[in-house]
Amino acid sequence: MRTIDSTITIKNRRLTRRLWVVVLGMFGFGYALVPLYDVFCEWTGAGAGRASTLMQAGISEAPIDRERWVTVELIGDMVGLPWQLELHRYKLRVRPGQATTVAYRVRNTAQTLLTGTAVPSVVPPRAARYFIKTACFCFERQALAANETRDMPLTFVVDPKLPEEVKTITLSYSFYPATAVSS
């Protein structure tokens, strides 16, 4: 009897050790996800819409490429917000290296104050790292009073290092209730 008990105890200890290794491995993987995500975003350009990336990028004194035009398309949609979106310009041509300012006009059609946030997306994804926002309403939450209309400015620069084959960049904003997106 005693041997069976000691065998079970040894097996339980092995299992406990293995489970601790799994738990520690999961913790280590979770801890490493942030730097791994940053590397992934840098490699693919997928995270170029994040405010921290954009602020770090800053704006260099790159010369304006006067030999080249890039078309920038602006779109947006509301997800769970009773806001209306109106763009002054849906499509514009810009020179790489030149700062451009546009505005998204948003109107709160609800009878109450609502706070929303805008999440940017740049297509094609490889162009995201070359689309630099220097001032953007997407950096902060936006609170609109009942029936308030507001122009939300965006200033951006297309980096002259944008690959030559990219002729069009689409910037899309999805507006969400601020409570639906964690900071």
Instruction: Give per-residue pLDDT as tens, 172-183.
Output: 999 999 875 444
93 and 18, same structural domain?
no
State which residues form the domain around 85: 51-180
3-state secondary structure 79-141: CCCCEEEEECCCEEEECCCCCEEEEEEEEECCCCCEEEEEEEEEECHHHHHHEEEEEEHHHCC
pLDDT of residue 8: 80
38 and 114, same structural domain?
no
The SS3 assignment for 26 reads helix
pLDDT of residue 158: 93
67 and 18, same structural domain?
no
103 and 25, same structural domain?
no
The tokens describing 20, both together, are 């601790």
User: Between the CA atoms of 23, 25, 26 and 27, what dihedral angle is there, to the nearest 10 degrees?
Assistant: 90
pLDDT of residue 161: 92
- Collect the ranges in the chain with pLDDT lower than 70: 1-3, 37-62, 88, 180-183
pLDDT of residue 53: 42
pLDDT of residue 52: 41
User: Between the CA atoms of 92, 98, 101 and 104, what dihedral angle is there, to the nearest 10 degrees?
Assistant: 40
Counted domains in the chain: 2
The tokens describing 158, both together, are 């297309």
17 and 67, same structural domain?
no
152 and 95, same structural domain?
yes
User: What predicted TM-score, i.e. pTM, was given to this entire model?
Assistant: 0.65
pLDDT of residue 41: 62
